[in-house]
Amino acid sequence: MNDGGREAGNDAHEKGTRALLDALAVGNPDDVLTLQDLLSGLGRRAFGMLLFASVLPAFIPIPIGGAISGPLVMLIGVQLCIGLRKPWLPGFLARRGPHRDALVRFDARISPWLAKLEHLVRPRLSWMLDSRIAAPVTGLMLLLLGLLLSLPIPLTNYLFAGLLLLFALALLERDGALMLVAWVAGLATLLGFGFLGGGLATQAAALWQRWF
């Protein structure tokens, strides 16, 4: 485990999302920040960090970015739906993760937005996040949005990934109010793209059969 990941994990409870990303960005740019390292010491915020890391490939301008992020987001959604208290990852995934230089580039891109959001995003309504329905509702939303992100829908990677970042920030910052906003935005997106319509449903079924 690299020192940067350990130190960031140990101090996670004292840091906001932007400070946590800045800490992870310090070190050898060629280092791989494994998912196991990124989740270390985060407690209840681990799902948020895993979701944050899982969405990163969707922001890379490559055709398969959504195909990489989508299944990871769906895995998180399933785990929330069944009530896991902390994320589970198979070994081959736990030992993988973004290179530090990729995280640095993403941090530079998103930091101005996080700087604006940090005055609005804060721990509040945490009881709502701990309610019995919160995890299943969030999990179902992530499952469906992850499936949409996996589909080859032109020019939608950034849209879905940006929405999923709202979920990640809400989980990381323990912000129940932001989670409510993410639920509403997620539902509107699912309805807007006609998730239950024939075309997308057919694509989703074909993708599901291909995976399973």
Share the mean pLDDT of the chain: 77
Q: What is the 3-state secondary structure (H, E, C) of the chain?
A: CCHHHHHHHHCHHHCCHHHHHHHHCCCCCCCECCHHHHHCCCHHHHHHHHHHHHHHHHHCCCCCHHHHHHHHHHHHHHHHHCCCCCCCCCHHHHCCCCEHHHHHHHHHHHHHHHHHHCCCCCCECHHHHCCCCHHHHHHHHHHHHHHHHHCCCCCCHHHHHHHHHHHHHHHHHCEHHHHHHHHHHHHHHHHHCCCCCHHHHHHHHHHHHHHC
Q: Give me the mean pLDDT over the 171-196 stretch.
A: 85
Q: What are phi and psi of 162, to 5 degrees?
A: -60, -40
pLDDT one-digit tens code per residue, 6-40:
434 444 434 566 667 777 777 777 777 787 777 77
Q: Give me the mean pLDDT over the 90-96 stretch.
A: 79
Per-residue model confidence (pLDDT) at position 125: 85
Among residues of the chain, what percentage have pLDDT more than 70? 77
What is the model's pTM? 0.73
Per-residue model confidence (pLDDT) at position 41: 65
Q: Give me the mean pLDDT over the 194-202 stretch.
A: 56
Per-residue model confidence (pLDDT) at position 5: 45
* C-alpha span between 31 and 60 (Å, rounded): 18
Q: Two tokens at 76?
A: 């998180």
- Ranges of each domain in the chain: 3-211
pLDDT one-digit tens code per residue, 45-81:
788 888 988 888 888 776 677 788 889 999 999 999 9
Given phi > 0 = left and psi -120 to 50 = alpha, else beta, which region is 124?
Answer: beta
Checking 27-31 for CB contacts under 8 A at 24+ apart, the result is 27/2, 27/3, 27/100, 28/100, 29/99, 29/100, 29/101, 29/104, 30/99, 30/100, 30/101, 31/2, 31/4, 31/99, 31/100
pLDDT one-digit tens code per residue, 126-157:
888 888 889 999 999 999 999 888 887 777 78
Per-residue model confidence (pLDDT) at position 143: 92
Q: What letter represents residue 57's amino acid?
A: P
Band the pLDDT of 99: cuts 50, 70, 90: confident
